[in-house]
Amino acid sequence: MSTEQIDPVSPEVVPKVGSRPTVRVPAVSALQRFDRNQHRSKTLPAVLFVSLAVHALVLGVCALIVFKHPQLIEEIFTTVTDPESASDPISEQSMLQTDDLNQQQFSPESMISNETASQLQADIKGPIDLNVSDSIPQIESDSSDLPGIAGIKIGEETSGRMSANVKRSMVQKFGGNSASEAAVASGMKWLTNHQLPNGSWSFEHSKHVDCKGQCSQDGSFKSCPTGATGLALLAFLGGGHTHKSGDYQREVKRGIDFLIKSGKSAGVGLDLRGKTVANEGMYVQGLCTIALCECAAMTKDSRVKKAAEGAIDFIVQAQHPEDGGWRYDRLQPGDTSVVGWQVMALKSGYDAKLKFAPQAFKNAESFLKRAGVDGGARYVYFPGSAEPGEGGALPTPTMTAVGLLCRMYMGWDHKNKKLAEGVAYLDTVKPDPNNLYFNYYATQVMHHWGGEEWKRWNEVMRDQLVRTQHPLKDGHMGGSWDIADPHGGGGGRLYMTCLSVMTLEVYYRHLPMYSRENIKVEF
């Protein structure tokens, strides 16, 4: 949230609110002159009537402001009531080259057919009506908006999720629909129903006192509450819900509190891995760090920001110094899958304006160069492996999606031929109903890439996820997704549900990168 956003002295507000005396004074003054001309007693009712009318007019103007700018009013109150957010020191470092950005334009393009949306809405969900298939809401722009998307602030990656109106606009613009938004809401309901009394979530979701085994497919990572909590938080945060705003403030607050309390400071940053039982350690650190960074970026909460800085520090210090990658434990030569989560975490830290050594990105880039084949159009899991198969030196669709997303964040743009080749490759693979991990990453790549490739991908991906979610009539299981991933056993139903929700939040979770193609981030 930029200072422009939370500044209550906005030119949109003040003239209207401040117009109250301007309107009232001349009206009363005229009435006083009228009174002096010998009709004082007869005109008293008229005075009252005019006074009432003026007050009604002023109230009407105020109501209009509240109706048209609910987020603005919320921000004003947040600023007034929350000294932390008002005084939190934010780095002055500019993250975007705004001159370049101002030259950008979105091509407005609606990506869904109304028939598809209404058919899915009729087929699938219960009473949730999010009404996103209506016309794009009119959102008034101001000078700090990203060109083409009113309501999204320049340099504020997460700002699109924070306003219901902007979210609706982005769902419409980038290819979501009522059914996809209903699926997100149902997924969050399932997550809410499985949050434990201490604020955490567990991959053993069936142990929840209300669930009592009604929901199958517990994950095998039984002692990994930070990982489960980080994932659940990402699903809520991806929809713009924080502990300070949105529909799940209580859930997010308890989750964030649990995560921060669970972190261990041991001289190498904030360790959020908890007690690892298999190879999940750095995965957990990565996704928990993303959750803290996103929350810090969205709320400017200094306590969360401090934890996020510690978590980023841990990642930076866990990177293998020569290899440039990360693996299951600290300082191991990397694999592309674990590297993907750490690069996403560093990117989130960057968006949250946290300070860390830029060399971490450079080192990760050198790892990715070695993990890439065909000049970086496709990626292997474990560079340098003697194994020729999928676990080694053979490129796979999943590792290609992870690798390409990382390269996009590191500066590859639309003009890069290898990126174009990689996207064309993913376009031929198509969403895989049995590999959600692949889908999650590939959806982000295709979303950022845009165009016909994204349209083709999204129509299949969106509807596939909506169709495979348990409907609310399935009782406690309603709103969740079954395991549909060869490596989904560790995280089970909770992991699948979080990844599915996050995939369906793609329309507003991140701004499509090439809407601002000329923006170069210098590391």
Among 64-72, 208-216, 355-363, 499-507, the segment contacting Zn ion (CB under 5 A) = 208-216
**Nearest approach, Cβ of 214 to Zn ion (angstroms)?**
5
- Let me know: does 371 contact 399? Beta carbons within 8 Å: yes
User: Looking at this protein, which amino acid is placed at residue 474?
Assistant: D
DSSP 481: B
Site string for Zn ion, 399-438 (x = CB under 5 A): ----------------------------------------
Joined together, the tokens standing for residue 255 give: 């989750």
Helix then strand count (H, E) for the chain reads 22, 6
Q: Which is nearer to Zn ion, 117 or 498 (CB)?
A: 498
**Nearest approach, Cβ of 435 to Zn ion (angstroms)?**
25
Q: Does 5 bind Zn ion (CB under 5 A)?
A: no
Q: Which is nearer to Zn ion, 138 or 216 (CB)?
A: 216
Nearest to 275 by CA among 232, 204, 234, 225: 225
Q: Which is nearer to Zn ion, 85 or 214 (CB)?
A: 214
Q: Does 476 bind Zn ion (CB under 5 A)?
A: yes
Q: Does 168 bind Zn ion (CB under 5 A)?
A: no
- Let me know: does 179 contact 124? Beta carbons within 8 Å: yes
Q: Does 211 bind Zn ion (CB under 5 A)?
A: yes
**Nearest approach, Cβ of 476 to Zn ion (angstroms)?**
4
Q: Does 192 bind Zn ion (CB under 5 A)?
A: no
Among 12-20, 59-67, 443-451, 472-480, the segment contacting Zn ion (CB under 5 A) = 472-480
Among 207-215, 282-290, 366-374, 448-456, the segment contacting Zn ion (CB under 5 A) = 207-215
**Nearest approach, Cβ of 200 to Zn ion (angstroms)?**
16
**Nearest approach, Cβ of 486 to Zn ion (angstroms)?**
24
3-state helix vs strand vs coil in the chain, percent to 5: 60, 5, 40
Among 152-160, 210-218, 251-259, 450-458, the segment contacting Zn ion (CB under 5 A) = 210-218
Q: Does 214 bind Zn ion (CB under 5 A)?
A: yes
Residue 482's φ and ψ, nearest 5 degrees, are: -70, 165
Nearest to 510 by CA among 502, 499, 521: 502
Q: Does 215 bind Zn ion (CB under 5 A)?
A: yes
Instruction: For residues 507 and 185, give the distance between their C-alpha atoms in angstroms, rounded to a whole number.
Output: 15
**What Rg value do the Cα atoms of the chain yield, rounded?**
25
Joined together, the tokens standing for residue 328 give: 């299951």
Nearest to 396 by CA among 433, 371, 414: 371
- Let me know: does 123 contact 182? Beta carbons within 8 Å: no
Among 41-49, 92-100, 160-168, 212-220, the segment contacting Zn ion (CB under 5 A) = 212-220
Q: Which is nearer to Zn ion, 201 or 350 (CB)?
A: 201
Instruction: For residues 102 and 99, give the distance between their C-alpha atoms in angstroms, rounded to a whole number.
Output: 5
- Let me know: does 491 contact 453? Beta carbons within 8 Å: no
Q: Which is nearer to Zn ion, 330 or 476 (CB)?
A: 476
Q: Does 97 bind Zn ion (CB under 5 A)?
A: no
Instruction: For residues 362 and 180, give the distance between their C-alpha atoms in angstroms, rounded to a whole number.
Output: 37
Q: Which is nearer to Zn ion, 232 or 288 (CB)?
A: 232
Residue count, binding to Zn ion (CB under 5 A):
4
Residues that bind Zn ion (CB under 5 A): 211, 214-215, 476
